[in-house]
Amino acid sequence: MTPKSGVFLAGSCITAIAAVGSVFELSSGEPELGNLTTGIILAVSIPLVVIFFLVAVKDARANQK
């Protein structure tokens, strides 16, 4: 694993945490940031989780010896 793939993997983890937090906030009934802002965070973070993870895996595979 390279530092570059590690950064992408960390980004995937952070955005996954944001997505899970957004789901819990929305399910609580009254999100602290409001429904719209929390929904936007959720909508943006889900694709970013997948993109960051795939880029991290691709980079790690490309740099294997």
Contacts 24+ apart (CB under 8 A), 18-25: 18/42, 18/45, 19/45, 19/46, 19/49
Statement: residue 65 has pLDDT above 80:
no
Question: Tens digits of per-residue pLDDT, 7-40?
Answer: 999 999 999 999 999 999 999 988 999 999 999 9
Q: Give the whole-angstrom CA distance, residue 55 versus residue 3.
A: 13
Model confidence at 2, pLDDT cuts 50, 70, 90, reads confident
Cα 45 from chain centre: 5
